[in-house]
Structure 1
Amino acid sequence: MFKRTTLVRSFRPPIAHIRAPTRRRFATEPPPTPPNTQSRIERFNRRLPKFLHKYTNALGSAPVSHITAFFILHEITAIVPLLGLAATFHYTHWLPGWFAEGGWALEGVERFGKYFKRKGWIRSGEAEEAELEVEMRTRDKAWNIGEGGVRLVVEFATAYTITKILLPARIVASVWATPWFARKTVVPLLAKFKGMFGRSKGKGTT
């Protein structure tokens, strides 16, 4: 009996030779997002209404190419309507009344008034005149805008208001177009820059 127990114990495999199963990493698993990119997405989400987070939260685990594509599209969907609407208002001499009044219009007047004055595109005092015109529009429902810098500031402020109201549609459109834009534009550009950097590095070592 003692010999049989000893024989069974002798055939037990050493514990040190038993390895825990390792987690297999598949080729389709996206690389981890850099911390600075994650913090940028978090800051971006804090500025958005909560109902838009369901569209942008997935960017936290997306590849860097998709995140870059989204931010490029987000800027495009802001700049194109802003410039297009401002040009339409300027050349048609028409302003939509509801969008050209209220708090958002005043915010746009202050923003573009300071920017245009810093660039030297309007005279000193025209930004304050534009702000006064928007305030009078809010109270009296009547425009008295002439030509020049005052009208330009109000036109851009109105275009800014409409572009800001379109933010939910812009976010949804940007998220929807992100995979296609990343595949067609961002990924080829990143590959091109990587190839150029690799060639220049190789020449430097020779």
Structure 2
Amino acid sequence: MHRSTLRASRPQIVPRAERKWLSTSRPEPAQKPKLGGQAAARNRFDRLIDRSPRFLRPTLTSLKKAPLSNITAFFILHEITAIVPLFGLASAFHYFRWLPPWFAEGVWVSEGVEKFGRYARRKGWISEKDEQHVEQETNQGHVNLLENGQTSGWFNRDEDTTRWIVEFATAYAVVKALLPIRIVVSVWASPWFARWVVIPVSTRVRAAVRSSSP
């Protein structure tokens, strides 16, 4: 009786071959299925709704049940309404050598200066010292002095590039402030843009792919 109790309490040793079989027979954790094109687009649209201001969510939600072509049209228009004003305003600021003070002294300008300054330094257009200089002057509210090249310690060699950084940063602030209008316009124009641009282009692309495939 005592021996049988001791044998029952001892841990059982599983043979090596059986351990190997047990380890290989365990089911692997299931991988998340990859989202298709439509599911990925709608998932991205849901994230955009969550990040948008609360008063704009009903407007965006009204587009959620629309066809995929309308959602695609919305994303294209959303990018167009950002890129075109960004380059247009920056060019106008550079040509007229003027910046709107109510935008040029905000937090978004500092964010834009860091973004475009980092990009210009990576491209080799300005030095790291120039990047730090323009960020410091922007944080101190000297954006208009930067635009006119009137700050101390200014590097004339990169003056034109740093002007472009400040001008793009100010245009970036304006575009961000216009986000509600951009979203409303993009939602309103999505059905028309999908009907006349997205659907015809996608149809021609599919036809070209089918004709080129053996």
**CA drift at 1:144:** 4.5
1:151 and 2:153 are equivalent in the alignment:
no
Task: Name the SS for the 1:177 alignment partner.
Answer: helix
Deviations 1:36-92 (A, max 9, x none): 122111111122111111111123221111111110000000001100110011111
- Matched to 2:101, the amino acid is G
Within 2, Cα distance between the matches of 1:108 and 1:187? 35
2:43 aligned to which of 39, 43, 55? 39
Distance in 1 between the 2:85 and 2:171 partners? 7
8 A contact 2:63–2:71 mirrored in 1: yes
Distance 1:126 1:55 in 2: 43
**1:80-119: CA deviations, max 9, x gaps?**
1100110011111111112111211111111111112112
1:53 counterpart = 2:57: yes
Give, in whole Å, the separation in 2 of the partners of 1:46 and 1:113. Answer: 29
Residue 199 of structure 1 pairs with residue 211 of structure 2: yes
Residue-pair matches, total: 168
Matched residue type, 1:107: E
1:93 aligns to 2:105 (yes or no): no
Q: CA deviation at 1:131?
A: 1.4
Establish whether residue 175 from structure 1 lines up as the match of residue 187 from structure 2: yes
In the alignment, structure 1 residue 188 sits paired with structure 2 residue 210 = no
Distance in 1, matches of 2:167 and 2:98, equals: 9
3-state SS of 1:125 partner: helix
Q: Per-residue deviation at 1:198?
A: 2.4
Aligned AA (1:64): L
Q: Give the TM-score of the pair, scaled to structure 1.
A: 0.76
SS in 1 for 2:145: coil
Contact 1:123 1:149 in 2 (8 A): no
Which structure 1 residue ranges, 4+ long, deviate > 6 Å from structure 2? none
Structure 1 residues without counterparts, runs of 5 or longer: 1-32
Partner of 1:105: 109
CA distance in 2, matches of 1:200, 1:101: 54
| Match of residue 8 from structure 1 | none
C-alpha RMSD of the superposition: 1.8
Length-normalised TM-score, structure 2: 0.73
Instruction: List alignment gaps of at least 5 residues for structure 2.
Output: 1-36, 150-158
